[in-house]
Structures are given as C-alpha cells and as structure tokens.
Amino acid sequence: MSSDYYQILGVSTDAGADEIKKAYRRKAREMHPDVSDDPDAATKFKEVSQAYEVLSDPQKRELYDRGGDPFGNGGMGGFGFNGGGGFGTAGGFDFTNLVDAMFGQQTARGPRPRVRRGQNALVRMSLELAEAAFGVTKPITVDTAVLCPRCNGKGSETGAEPVTCATCRGQGEVTHIQRSFIGDIRTTQACPTCGGYGSVIPDPCVECSGDGRVRSTRTITVKVPAGVSTGNRIHLASHGEVGPGGGPAGDLYVEVHVNPHELFKRDGDNLEMVVKLPMTAAALGTELDLPTLEADLPDADPDKTTVRLTVPAGTQSGTRLTVDDAGVPKLRSNSRGDLGVTLLVQTPTKLDDEQRELLRKLAEVREETRPEGAVQKHGRGVFSRLRDAFANQ
C-alpha cells in the first residue's frame, strides 16, 4: 500500500478515535467536491474517506498498522468501498451522501414548475463608424429557443394536461434511507421518473419532446441609436430564449462593435484625423476642404460631406486644429463632438535646380544658411503630439 492514512488525515500514529473523527470531518469538509474549487477534490475526498474508514475501525486499523491490506482478499471487507480498495457504494452506502447530510445539503426542493421564464440571450453586431455615429436600423440573425409550433408550448402531442407522477406522487423528489456507522442517512433526490416536475406528460410532443420549445433561427430588426460605441448594449425586452413549457421569453442584449475607419479615429465623441501639408502651404497659410463622416452615409446632404479648415501661416508640423461640431453625435443628446485635425508638414525631397536655387535664396534672406538648432526641452511638444496622432493609424 502506498497511501499513508495517518498523513492523509493529518494525525499521529497514536491518535485517538475522537481526534481521528475530528480530523476526518475537517478534511472532508475541505475536500468535498461540492465545496472545494480544487480540480482534484473528488480524488482527495475519496482518499480522506478511505483513510477514515480504516483508522476508525479498530480491526482494520490494527491490520493496517501491521502492514496488512484491510481491503485485500481475505482482509476486512469495508462497506462503502469496492473489493479493490477504491471508493464505491458497496452495501448501498455512499460517503458523499454522508458528508452531504453532515453539511445540511439534503434540503427538500419540492416539485419545480414546468413553465418557467426563459434565459436572456446575447448577440454581437458589427457597425461601421458612420452607422454607430448617426444611428441605423439593421436586421440581425438570432439562434434561440422559440415556442414549439406543433404543440404551442403545451409539450403534449394531444394537448392533454400533465398528470401526477406515480413515483413521487407529485412531490418531484424521492427519499432514500441508508444505514451507516453513525446511524440512518436520509437522502432526497429529484424523481427519476418526472425529472423533479411532480407530473408527467403522457403523450409528449414529437417536435419538442415535451419541452414546449424548439431551437430556431430568426431575424430581428434592431434600431441602433446615434452615438453608440464599442461595448454598448441595446436591450430588447422579451426577445431572448422562450422558457421551458412555453414560458415567457427572456431578454435579448445586442452588443455593439464598431469597425476601424480608414480616415478617422474616434476618441470619445471627437473624431481625429491626420492631414499631410506641403511646407510652402504651412509657411504661407492655406484653406483645406476635408471630408466629414457624413460622406459615408448613402443619403448624405452634399453640403455636409466636406468641411473647410483654415490653416494659418507659419503652422508647424504636429499642430492640431479643430472643427467644432464635426465629430460624433453624443448618445441621447443633440450636441456633437469636434473634429481634430493634426497637420503633418512635409519637407520636399526631390528638387530641381530652379527650386533648389529659390530655397537657397530664401535661406540667405532669412539668414538660415547655417542655422543653429534649438534643443527642445522634454515635455509634451511636437513629437509627443505626432506620436499620439499616429497611434493606431
């Protein structure tokens, strides 16, 4: 034998009967599969029960202390274990029932209702940025339990009402009494005939097998309000799973996921975009016609598909300008966020002789032929703004 029963219970080899019983109760309470989160709880519980079975019996304990096998052939046959020493129900006794009784888990349940409310359901919907910003009405496909079309939720092929179960007499549960070394153990379980309902359907519906509902795929139209974002959920009452026995349906929740946009990045109710600007335009100032999110709408007003942005002369790379009320409509509000435009000034890389000469003359006029670079102090300067602007682009 490889198991050390004294070590399993955590007692010394000269422990008395009371100490062994207390150790067993403590260990059994910790290792019971219905209580412990340990994935090996069932195995450990069996070991604890087996150790107690041996050490609590003077004859088995004496045989074990001499090196014998109390569960071997010719040894003491123990109730509650099979001939090979494994955990079992020999003699009609199960240690699980014993510990359940010790912990008070044999509470009577009574018959459970055949008609119950259905569970809530969750589906996910992908939206384009414009759809999420301005709202949209879209159909979605949902796979849920629906009312059985054959029996209309009755569960009976003929429409007859359920009759009282003969096994449990309508109680929904049956009680067994088992004898153990500490007395009679009373266990209560759901009736195997009616499944705990207390009644049976004599002629179950062939479509739903008496459940009153079947799985089906259906299409639901969902109205998405303007301003939703990823993670928002739309609540549709009574559009979830139909309950057993044709019970009322649960609710349906539609979780929104907004797809990335090729031009805009959403920041709350604001939109952000990056625009490349020639060096000359940044130096002299200019006006830019920029697309808006409305341009993605199929029936957009042409006057709202673009917005004009004035770039002041001398604009530096990384400058962020804003266009008021050109962002995302705020959820359950009439106001909108802003459109932030980060300008990236581009230095020309290919110059012909004429362009190079013009720039050289400009540098001479501005006395910048040999400029001294100004060291930028640490802080949120141009590079920090550029890094944020290009993040996730």
265-390 matches 5-102 in CATH topology: no
Contact 13, 6 (CB under 8 A): yes
**Who's near 314: CB < 8 A, 6+ residues apart?**
282, 283, 285
Q: How is domain 121-154+211-258 classified at the CATH fold level?
A: HSP40/DNAj peptide-binding domain (2.60.260)
Is 165 labeled as ligand-binding? yes
pLDDT of residue 252: 96
Is 143 labeled as ligand-binding? no
Contact 273, 342 (CB under 8 A): yes
Question: What's the mean per-residue pLDDT of the chain?
Answer: 84
Q: Locate tokens 């739903």: which residue? A: 208
- For the whole prediction, is pTM greater than 0.85? no
Q: Does domain 5-102 have CATH number 1.25.40.10?
A: no
pLDDT, tens digit, 9 for 90 and up, residues 182-220: 667 778 888 999 989 999 999 999 999 999 999 999 999
Q: Locate tokens 């006395």: which residue? A: 367
Is 205 labeled as ligand-binding? yes
Question: What is the per-residue burial (b if ≥16 Cβ within 10 Å, else e) of 159-197?
Answer: eeebeebeebebbbbbeeebebeeeebebeebbeebebb
Counting Cβ atoms within 10 Å, is residue 115 exposed (0-12), middle (13-18) or buried (19+)? middle
**Residue ranges of domains in the chain:** 5-102, 121-154+211-258, 163-200, 265-390
pLDDT, tens digit, 9 for 90 and up, residues 258-276: 999 999 999 999 999 999 9
Counting Cβ atoms within 10 Å, is residue 104 exposed (0-12), middle (13-18) or buried (19+)? exposed
Q: Does domain 265-390 have CATH number 3.80.10.10?
A: no
Is 96 labeled as ligand-binding? no
pLDDT, tens digit, 9 for 90 and up, residues 93-112: 444 445 554 544 444 456 88
- A 10 A CB-CB count for 217 gives 9
Is 287 labeled as ligand-binding? no
CA distances from 127 to 40, 229, 249, 257, 261 (A): 45, 9, 27, 6, 11
Q: Is the pLDDT of residue 76 over 50?
A: no
Is 194 labeled as ligand-binding? yes
Is 37 labeled as ligand-binding? no
Rounded to whole angstroms, how far apart are CA atoms 267 and 383? 20
pLDDT of residue 314: 96
pLDDT, tens digit, 9 for 90 and up, residues 41-51: 778 888 888 88
Is 148 labeled as ligand-binding? yes
Tokens of 218: 């259906």
